Amino acid sequence: MKQKLITIILTIITILAPLLIVPNFLNTNYNILKLWTLLICSFLLIILLLCQYKDLKIDKEDICIFIFLGFVCISTFLSSDISKSLFGEENRYEGFLMFVAYACIYFSSKKYFKFEKITEFSNILFIVSMLIGILGIFQNYIIAEDLKPLFSKGICSTFGNSNFFGSFISLVLPITISFFILKGNRKSFLLALVMFFNMLSSGTRSAWVAFGVIALLGICYLIKQKNKTYYKRFFQLLLCFILIFVFILVDPKSVMKDKFAQMKNDFNASLHDGLDGNMGSGRIEIWEMTLKLIVQKPVFGCGTDNLQLGLSTNCTENFNQFVSRTLTIPDKAHNEYLHIAATIGLPALIVYLIFISMILWKRVRHMLNDSTSFVISLILISYLVQAFFNISTIGVAPLFWMLLGLVDNQDFVNSFK
């Protein structure tokens, strides 16, 4: 019974975390529903896990998570703004409580997630992802100020920011492409087209980089398999992707063209003058400030999700120059790894990377010989690559932490074979 309840709660998280968003006319933070859904669900998961504590077996990965949470806790209570570090930056909400929620999702999905018929869960994922993808397509053509950030804040679907949408696409696109090429799943083919359209039209370059990496890995896998059916499906998908690319390219309002032009200008400027802080939509400058902060507070950081105050206090001149030039306030490092190091500390980042490496290695070493390991590895790598240029968000991160747990859930893994 407890296992069934845990599976239901995790399914609710899978559905609601990416879907829920509050439009502007309600005069509240657009991520507030995601926050309370995750906090309530994680609280229920904690109770269910405690009821099962005698049956829980702890492995090396689990120990890493406990150590990581220890660093998060210490960083939170050493923070100059403990309240913000507990709950997280406004509308970001990735404070101590959210990391506890992520850990609960990881443990629960690893130990207890089980569907009697995995096709039911696959159908749920398909419906949620398709709704999100269709909304993203509509956002290309509909403007409604009262429904901001739904229809007036770029192509961001239910995430409030195109970068966050790109994170979601980086998780979903590898699954859909793999399921179509390897299994001939037609629904996956349709969803892959929708997500590819959104990836290009949203102009999220971190997702483009991740797509490039998984495309190269996918081609290596296909070459090794030497399967004519796979080749046929691959070229069908490739042709459709090319048609979508051309369709968006000729659109006079295309964000993609502006992003390509910006990337070209950044590349040419770097060849002549080297790296400049303005490159990558200001990411280089944010990274430089974040690195200075890490040097000043290397052990426990400036406080969980407390980057804004950390930069304004410890890198005041650079921070003020950035704010006055861009009219934006940096509260995330635009690099998940640097953000952890700056806010929670370098030891926490090292533990996190060890944890990720142990999970990833289990699948990567078999990815070219085993289709299940290949698909799982592709999804993990895609997210980890885009995370180098992007921001963690509570609409997508729970899905990633759930996937980390499912890698070791043998019942779940076997259901896809």
300 within domain boundaries? no
Separation between Cα atoms, residue 325 and residue 312, nearest integer Å: 15
135 within domain boundaries? yes
pLDDT higher than 80, residue 353: yes
DSSP string, 279-347: TTTTHHHHHHHHHHHHHHSTTTTT-TT-HHHHHHHHSHHHHHHHHHHHS----S-SSHHHHHHHHT-HH
Q: End-to-end CA distance of the chain, in Å?
A: 26
Structure tokens at 407: 């890698």
87 within domain boundaries? yes
271 within domain boundaries? no
> What 8-state DSSP symbol labels residue 25?
G
The residue segments making up the domain with residue 165 are: 2-255+336-415
* More confident of the two residues 180 and 269: 180
Tokens 């609710």 correspond to 12
| Predicted pLDDT of residue 62 | 92
pLDDT higher than 50, residue 74: yes
75 within domain boundaries? yes
192 within domain boundaries? yes
* More confident of the two residues 100 and 28: 100
Mean predicted confidence (pLDDT) in 309-327:
86
322 within domain boundaries? no
Distance of CA 13 to the CA centre of its chain: 15
* Mean pLDDT score across all residues of the chain: 88
How many folded domains does the chain comprise? 1
| Predicted pLDDT of residue 263 | 62
Separation between Cα atoms, residue 293 and residue 338, nearest integer Å: 10
Alpha-carbon Rg for the chain, nearest whole angstrom, is 21
Q: Nearest to residue 363, comparing CAs of 384, 341, 379?
A: 379
Query: pTM for the whole thing?
Result: 0.92
pLDDT higher than 90, residue 272: no
Tokens 């509308």 correspond to 91
Cis amide bond preceding 298, omega within 30: no
106 within domain boundaries? yes
